[in-house]
Structure formats: C-alpha cells, structure tokens
Structure 1
C-alpha cells in the first residue's frame, strides 16, 4: 500500500494535467466557454423555480429561491461527479494499455476537477445570498470543512464506480436512474428539514424521515444550507459518520486497486 501511494504521489504531474485537461474539455466546443460554469447552474435554478413556484405554486417560504439554488448547485456537483466517474478509467484505456499508471489516479483527477466546477457554483449561491439580503453567520467557517467532507465522500464513490464500470459497463446506464431516485428522494427542490421538523414528526412519515436523516445527499445539502442561509451549526454527527465510512472505503479501494491492476488492464 505504501509503495502504491508513493507511486501516485510520483505521478502528481499527471494528476494536475488530467485535472487541467478535464476542465478544458468540458466546454471546449462551446461559444461561451468557461462562462457556462456560471450560466448553467443559474439557468438550472431559474427552470426549477419557474416549475415549482410559478406552475405548481409551491415553495412558499420567504427564502425558497436561496434554498433552491443551494440544493441545485450542490446536487449538480454530486450528480456530475458520480455519473462521470463511470468512464473515469475506461476513457483512458489507450493510455493505460501503453504505460503503467496507478489506475486510481483517474477517478481522483475527475473528482478534483469537478470540485473546481463546484467553486463557480458557489459564486452563483453568493449572488443569490446578496440579492435576497441573507448574510451568513459565523457558522460560515465550517463551509471549507463541509466541502472537504463532500469531496472525500465523492472521491470514495467515484473510485468505487470507476472500478466496477471497468468490468460491468452496464452500471453506467443504471446510474442515471439511481441518481434520479436520489434527486426526488432528497430535499433539493422540496423543503423537508430534519427529523425534528414538526410536520414530519406528527405525520410519522417513515419515507420522509429516511429522506432527511439517513440519506447522505440530504445530510450534505442540509449542512450547506445550515452554514449559508440558516446561521446554524450543521449536523456534525451525520457528517462524521459519512467521513469515517468514506475514508475506510478509500483505503479499501486503494488496496483493491493495487491488487487488481493487472485485471483492469486485461478488462480494458
């Protein structure tokens, strides 16, 4: 394991190159280029705001627009990272078959490049916070920690999905439907809250309770909203469990990658 980690560190130049090339490739053929990193999440928010508020007549809370933009921007980061992880290794098959490289470096590079994309989404969130006059409290100091925890979780999932998709390519098609379930089961466009929410407790809605307490996507979303718009300390217990599970997964996956490098090459 130590030698494998040292090999990854030696290839840090390649890691930086993969991150840089991945960022350039996203909007290479578009007229507006990198401006889409700001425009895409903004348009996404406007579409869902029109759907939920104007057409369906929901989202009655005063700060629903801010609630929505945080949910959609964070979800975009999660969704894009997980879905693109399916091809994190397979799309570099020509390089892998010619030169020895630690295969785990590819999902690591992908997760890192999507982090930079998310940072532009934070600019959109800041615009909405300013427009609606919401000033985050001192709890904003936890924002880098929440971003780090989310990155660790996505890195673990990305490494797992990238490895599985080398051998089972059909997972790529199934992921679209799985992510759709998580989208509607998480408080992204609908306002749920935590288990302590009176409406949830009184209704004894088991599915809703799971959606806002056990669902890792909901835990991440609520943590971002707590520090950005509610001036609250996030639920560190849920974040702590996620971090431990993610770190254990990363260690196990790194060991598994090391043991099965030859199988990956053969499968490609």
Structure 2
C-alpha cells in the first residue's frame, strides 16, 4: 500500500491524467448552456444582487462599495462550496473510471478543485477590474492575494479529499453538507465585516478559517491594508493539517474504494 510519503510522487506520475481531467471539466461544465462559462460569474453576481437588495435596500445596512465587499466574499465562498460539492461525487459517481484505470483516486477530487480554481482566478480578475472602475486602485499589498488564495486552495483540497472518501461510504453526506455549508456561510463574514463581532469574542470567531480568508482578501484588495498576518498564519497551519490528515485517511482506505463504488 502506498504511504503518505510516496503518494505525492505517485500523483506526479499521473500529472497528465490530472491535466486531462481538469480540461475535461472545463469543457463540460457549461458547454450545454447558452451563456456557457459566463454562468460561473453570473451565478455569484445574482447572489450579490440578492444579498445587496436584502441587506442594503431593505435593512439599510452595508456601506460604501458594499457590492464589492460582498462580491469578494461570495466569490471566494463559491470556489470552496462548488469544489467540495463536485468532489463528493467524483469517486462515488465514477465507478467505471475507477475500475478501468489504475491510478491514485485522489486525482478525481483534485481535478475538481483545480478546474474551479481556474474560474476563481478569472473571477478575481473581474473583481480587480470592478475595483478600478470604482476608483479603487491596487496597492503593492495585492501581492498577498496569491498567498491568501493558495491557503484557501490547500484548505479546499483537504476538505474535498476527505468528503470524496466519506461520500463513498455515506451517501447522505451531500445532504448533510448542504445544510452545514449554509450554516457556515452565515457565521462567516461574507455579508458583514468582522468588526460587527464583539471584540471579546473576536479571537474565537477568527478560528473560523473563512473569517480570516474573507477579511484578508478585503483588506488587501478593497482597503489597501495589511491582512491579519497572525490569523492568516493560523489558518495556513490549520489548512495544511486538514490536507495532511485528509491524504492520510484517504490513502488508508483507498484500496477499499473499488469494492465500495
């Protein structure tokens, strides 16, 4: 059985398969829709309009550049949620591929995370354009954006690998995660700033990785300020631990996957 130390080399040997799966995902995701790939951007845009109407128009909350404020959070959140949702079915719903080809099965959720990353990067590019249209010019601190995105990718990949494995044994996990992610969204500062949280509870609140990620994106992109480096370092450590544990558990049960699907 392949160990955790040897698994990266085995994945590297299958980089061509990973590239093929990523390109296949990108070609098939929206190929049958009239607006095609624009739907990846239109979907969060519609959410932004809905939440803006609810929060800013009805409840008279929000503030200056509020659409961009929530847009950054929703775009980052969409990358995470779509990736884990697709990953949960990547193995459980792909038995023919698993039976016919001998390859590290972690490639399947990895391909979903990677293909959605392409959309995420393009979406962030659109956000930068909108920021400049709004008169918010990028500062040198935008160099932190790839770092923040890398941390989110590590976290997303770790969660995706774990859930891809769990979905093989527990079909209801997708329904469970639908409610769990909805709850996590509302306890994360996607629609409101972290400053709304009482200061005495803020350190505890920032244990939520998305509190740090959303805040960090906005600090460097919207406000031209340093991200919360201490919280960001903590989120990085947590993300790496999730990824390592995810791979360790996945490798432990990988040989049993073919029997279950």
Distance 1:63-1:155 versus aligned 2 partners, 3 A rule: same
Unpaired runs of 5+ residues, structure 2, are none
Distance 2:41 2:203 in 1: 33
**Alpha-carbon contact 2:162-2:250 (below 8 Å) kept:** no
Residue number in structure 1 paired with 2:143: 141
Partner of 2:74: 72
Q: How does 1:116-135 map to 2 (within 5 A)?
A: 116-135=118-137
Residues 48-80 of structure 1: CA distance to partner in whole angstroms, max 9, x if unpaired? 212221222211x22222211111111111221
* Count of residue correspondences: 258
2:57 matches 1:54: yes
Structure 2 CA distance for aligned equivalents of residues 189 and 250 of structure 1:
28
Aligned residue number for residue 240 of structure 1 = 233
Equivalent position of 1:227 in the other structure: 220
1:41 deviates by: 2.5
Partner of 2:243: 250
**Which of these residues, 191, 194, 202, is aligned with residue 192 of structure 1?**
194
1:222 positional shift:
0.4
Runs of 4+ in 1 over 3 A off after TM superposition: 208-211
* Structure 2 equivalent of residue 265 of structure 1: 258
Between the aligned partners of 2:174 and 2:77, the Cα distance in structure 1 is 18
Closer, same or farther: CA 130–113 of 1 in aligned 2, 3 Å:
same
Contact 2:145 2:220 in 1 (8 A): yes
Query: Which TM-score applies when normalising by structure 2?
Result: 0.91
Q: Does 1:173 align with 2:171?
A: no
Residues 68 and 127 of structure 2 are in contact (CA less than 8 Å); yes or no, is this contact kept in structure 1? yes
Once residues 260 and 34 of structure 2 are traced to their aligned partners in structure 1, the CA distance between those partners, rounded to angstroms, is 38
C-alpha contact 1:87 1:165 (8 A) present in aligned 2: yes
- The two structures, once aligned, show a CA RMSD in angstroms of 1.9
Give the C-alpha shift of residue 256 in structure 1.
3.1
Aligned counterpart for 1:31 among listed residues 28, 34, 38: 34
